[in-house]
Chains A and B, each alone.
Chain A
Amino acid sequence: MKIKIALAQINPLLGDIEKNREKHLEFIEKAIENNAQIIVFPELSITGYRLKDFTMEVALPANSNFFNPILKQSKKIDIAFGFVERGKDNNIYNSAMYIENQSIKSVYQKIYLPTHGMFQELRFMGKGEKITTFKTIYGNFSMLICRDLFHPSLLFLTYAQKTDVVLGMSGMPLRGVTGKKPAIQETVEKAIDTYTNFFSQFIVFVNRVGFEDGLGFYGGSFVGTPLGKKLAFAGILQEKLTFATIDLEEIYKKRQLFPLAREEDLNIVQDNLRRILEENYGKF
């Protein structure tokens, strides 16, 4: 199956959810005009990133009426976006939502919230615990948020659940300016190259742009494919809507050329994980 995906590399306003919703609707409209079937926004695209104490003031439950105008558009296109979630457990999460044909297919709560140096996420938000694969009309999808992408264990878990397409929704600030590309961009591209090669999945990486308190989010969105192609490069530091047409047939081809998936043995992984947990952490 071929799917046309729109990568919405936007610059959300910090804390202004109404204006950001408008921006989502504009980008969704353009994606529909271009016959895209899915549009993917970056991390916290509805709220902006560096909210600190304002986090609580923009938190919304996933079923809030606020999202109705976006939900309405999902009759024409599948939509994935980021928001601050007021969870059912009264905790706040850095979440991503996938909607299809006016229904919420999945809400993912970011698992690894960086809290060091310039990052303060755990100070204001709770940690998610579950990584799932959900079925869309286009195939099996998973969502990961920013730092999650630097934990190969999470990519492995999506692979183990037979995810075809991972949506990596990010808010990565630029750092490292000695090389040809920003150092962070090199790191992300190398990681995605590796994951798509060994897990034979597609990864749709959508990173935001714009500045918040001196942090400059670099963009550089693209789609990595199992055969090692990079599609729809959005470039850095500018808002942009790019399109990639991916062919899920590539997964089949890759898994026959390089049949790692056939070799994979989850029982061995489980047995060893149990042993490691027992020996090193005293728990099961």
Chain B
Amino acid sequence: MENFSLNCELVKKFIIEFIKEEVHSNGFNRCVIGLSGGLDSVLVAYLSKEALGKENVKAIIMPYKTSNPASKEDALTAVTHLGILHETIDITKIADTYFKKEKEMTNIRMGNFLARSRMSILFDKSREFKALVMGTSNKSELILGYSTWYGDMAASFYPIGDLYKTQIFKFAQFMQIPKKIITKKPSADLWPGQTDEKELGAKYIQIDSILTLYVDQRKTKDEIIALGYSQKIVESLLNRIKKTQFKRTFPPVAKFSPRTFGLDFLYPHDLGK
């Protein structure tokens, strides 16, 4: 397995400065976070509070009827611990009104719909609270595309988007996040019994080792397998990266003018901030 050591003090300082500058330079003081009670969103809440102050951070908790009750409890534990603002909006009625009209709702369709309903509420709340929407995606899920496009991926920026999940477990301890939130099985909690590792087919330490070998060290598939990783898992993960590339790019525009968005109209995101 690869080494995921981290200078937590340095990373904390860097991310806090990043949050401050992104929020303030965009003309805001506040942020909203969709707080599921999972480790990633809780970690972002902890970092946001340190960067912006508790009065400027609002957690929106959005359970559905099948959500694990422990998730909401964990979210409330974090909120109480941090003293940040929060609001709970049950999305069961909103989602079920739609689901009832549809005949064959699969887990994936339902999961995506729930993620996008939460996104819709979160962006509305950001307008109400005059705030930016914090992204809570980590590097493992961004690179695997293991998230809903325009759902939980929708955000103003990603403060923990360059940390693998394995690093997040360590970093969360440093940030003194309650142990029960760190040690529970990572899950998108989109349907009962769902866990990341079951769905991705391997433990996070394996997944992240393969990812860092491929992404950061630019090893080939064969080189990674030769190191002793399962061919099936390596192939499945690398396939996921390829198949989900569309989620990480600006959608193509059919080009015929001299300057076209995404191709040769290349302005930085942060221009004039």
Binding site for B on A (CB under 8 A): 13-16, 50-54, 174, 177-182, 210-214, 216, 236-237
B217 interface contact, C-beta 8 A: no
Q: Which 4 A-B pairs have the closest CB atoms?
A: A52-B266, A53-B266, A211-B21, A50-B268
Binding site for A on B (CB under 8 A): 3, 5-7, 10-11, 13-14, 17-18, 21-22, 157, 264-273
16 further interface pairs, Cβ-Cβ under 8 Å (given A53-B265, A177-B11, A211-B270): A13-B272, A13-B273, A14-B268, A14-B271, A15-B272, A50-B268, A52-B268, A53-B266, A53-B267, A54-B267, A174-B14, A179-B7, A181-B10, A211-B21, A212-B268, A214-B18
Q: Select B268's contact among A51, A216, A237, beta carbons within 8 Å.
A: A51
Interface SS of chain B: helix, strand, loop or mixed?
Answer: loop
Report yes or no: B14 in contact with A14, Cβ–Cβ below 8 A: no
Q: Select B10's contact among A13, A177, A212, beta carbons within 8 Å.
A: A177
Report yes or no: A216 in contact with B272, Cβ–Cβ below 8 A: no
Q: 12 A-B residue contacts at CB 8 Å?
A: A16-B272, A53-B267, A54-B267, A54-B268, A177-B7, A177-B10, A180-B7, A211-B270, A212-B270, A214-B18, A236-B13, A237-B17
Interface SS of chain A: helix, strand, loop or mixed?
Answer: loop
> Which residue of B5, B7, B17, B268 has the most chain A CB atoms within 10 A of its CB atom?
B268
* Nearest B residue to A211, CB-CB: B21
Report yes or no: A182 in contact with B21, Cβ–Cβ below 8 A: no
Please name all residues of chain A whose beta carbon is closer than 8 Å to the beta carbon of B264 when the two chains form the complex.
Answer: 53
Closest Cβ–Cβ distance, residue A108 to chain B (whole Å): 25
Q: Select A54's contact among B3, B13, B157, B271, beta carbons within 8 Å.
A: B271
> Which residue of A181, A211, A212, A213 has the most chain B CB atoms within 10 A of its CB atom?
A211
Please name all residues of chain B whose beta carbon is closer than 8 Å to the beta carbon of A14 when the two chains form the complex.
Answer: 268, 270-273
> Which residue of B3, B14, B157 has the most chain A CB atoms within 10 A of its CB atom?
B14
Please name all residues of chain B whose beta carbon is closer than 8 Å to the beta carbon of A182 when the two chains form the complex.
Answer: 10
Please name all residues of chain A whose beta carbon is closer than 8 Å to the beta carbon of B268 when the two chains form the complex.
Answer: 14-15, 50-52, 54, 212-213
* Nearest A residue to B18, CB-CB: A211
Please name all residues of chain A whose beta carbon is closer than 8 Å to the beta carbon of B269 when the two chains form the complex.
Answer: 213
Report yes or no: A211 in contact with B271, Cβ–Cβ below 8 A: no
Q: Select A210's contact among B5, B7, B21, B272, beta carbons within 8 Å.
A: B21
Closest Cβ–Cβ distance, residue A236 to chain B (whole Å): 8
> Which residue of A13, A177, A213 has the most chain B CB atoms within 10 A of its CB atom?
A177
**Contact A216-B7, Cβ < 8 Å, known A13-B272, A50-B268, A52-B268:** no
Closest Cβ–Cβ distance, residue B227 to chain A (whole Å): 20
- A182→B21 CA distance, assembly (Å): 20
Closest Cβ–Cβ distance, residue B167 to chain A (whole Å): 9
Please name all residues of chain A whose beta carbon is closer than 8 Å to the beta carbon of B266 when the two chains form the complex.
Answer: 52-53
Q: Select A52's contact among B5, B17, B18, B267, beta carbons within 8 Å.
A: B267
Please name all residues of chain A whose beta carbon is closer than 8 Å to the beta carbon of B267 when the two chains form the complex.
Answer: 52-54
Please name all residues of chain B whose beta carbon is closer than 8 Å to the beta carbon of A181 when the two chains form the complex.
Answer: 10
* Nearest A residue to B10, CB-CB: A177
Please name all residues of chain B whose beta carbon is closer than 8 Å to the beta carbon of A52 when the two chains form the complex.
Answer: 266-268
Please name all residues of chain A whose beta carbon is closer than 8 Å to the beta carbon of B13 when the two chains form the complex.
Answer: 236-237
- A25→B13 CA distance, assembly (Å): 29
- A67→B103 CA distance, assembly (Å): 69
Please name all residues of chain B whose beta carbon is closer than 8 Å to the beta carbon of A214 when the two chains form the complex.
Answer: 18, 157
Report yes or no: A211 in contact with B272, Cβ–Cβ below 8 A: no
Please name all residues of chain A whose beta carbon is closer than 8 Å to the beta carbon of B7 when the two chains form the complex.
Answer: 177-180
- A50→B273 CA distance, assembly (Å): 12
> Which residue of A15, A51, A214, A236 has the most chain B CB atoms within 10 A of its CB atom?
A214
- A174→B11 CA distance, assembly (Å): 11
Please name all residues of chain B whose beta carbon is closer than 8 Å to the beta carbon of A211 when the two chains form the complex.
Answer: 17-18, 21-22, 270
Report yes or no: B14 in contact with A177, Cβ–Cβ below 8 A: yes
Please name all residues of chain B whose beta carbon is closer than 8 Å to the beta carbon of A210 when the two chains form the complex.
Answer: 21
Closest Cβ–Cβ distance, residue A185 to chain B (whole Å): 10
- A51→B10 CA distance, assembly (Å): 27
Report yes or no: B270 in contact with A237, Cβ–Cβ below 8 A: no
Please name all residues of chain B whose beta carbon is closer than 8 Å to the beta carbon of A53 when the two chains form the complex.
Answer: 264-267
- A214→B7 CA distance, assembly (Å): 19
Please name all residues of chain A whose beta carbon is closer than 8 Å to the beta carbon of B265 when the two chains form the complex.
Answer: 53
* Nearest B residue to A218, CB-CB: B14
